[in-house]
Amino acid sequence: MKTKRFVRNFHRYLSIFVSIQLLLWTVSGIYFAYNKIELVRGEQYRLPKDIEYRIFDRLGTSVIETIEEGKKTYKTYPEGDAIKPLTEEEAIKITAQKTTLNPIDVSLVTEFYPGDEYRGDLPAYKVITDTKDGINVYVGYMTGDIGSIRSDSWRIWDFLWSLHIMDYRERDNINNILLQILSVLALVTSISGITLFFVKR
């Protein structure tokens, strides 16, 4: 009888300890769900730039990227000659130079699909590598930048993240209505559970 009472009390006090932490997680989760990170960062106060420049190296050639009214153009620097997009062979060469991976195949990605592992600028080259973890490298079509490196480990993480934020399609939106509703319900559940701990029978 004493053992049974001890176990019951142990479970009761352990539950209140865990419930308080769950309450803190829920409250913080509600804040994240109802506040867009762009607004928290103060992006709404920035004035758009009329024009932006970036100079970088692409396989030994200096390239200047110009962004004007959201449109990007690329020319050699300082000559100002137009440059062509990378070829598949050049994308493979860049992957070999900029990573420790061994590229074996390449294809051009031109459009997004819901839940795609790559969500950067398009078009981009998808370079398949010879790895056990199924690693793909995404190379910028014009820049040669390594946009993303995706592996089986990342795909598992991305799937679990979609379950965590309840955005099962795009897997990016932490401000979706489903998460907002369920986070409030979780808050009510946590508070009611903690309240019941202090209610005397």
Per-residue pLDDT of 149-188, as tens digits, reads 999 999 999 999 999 888 988 888 889 998 899 888 888 8
- Whole-angstrom CA distances from 1 to 11, 79, 164, 197, 200 are 15, 89, 41, 22, 21
Name the residue among 79, 54, 50, 80 with its Cα closest to residue 140. Answer: 54
120: pLDDT strictly greater than 60? yes
Across 58-67, 113-122, 132-141, least confident range: 113-122
Cα dihedral across residues 174, 176, 180, 182: positive or negative = negative
Pairwise CA distance, residues 5 & 8, whole Å: 5
What CATH code would you report for 85-171?
3.10.450.40
Q: Quick one: pLDDT band at residue 1, thresholds 50, 70, 90?
A: low
The answer to whether the CB of 91 falls within 8 A of the CB of 139 is yes
In tens, the pLDDT along 60-111 reads 999 999 999 889 999 999 999 999 999 999 999 999 999 999 999 999 999 9
Its pTM surpasses 0.85? no
Report the pLDDT value the prediction gives residue 199, as an integer from 0 to 100. 73
Among 145, 133, 128, 135, smallest CA distance to 92 is for 128
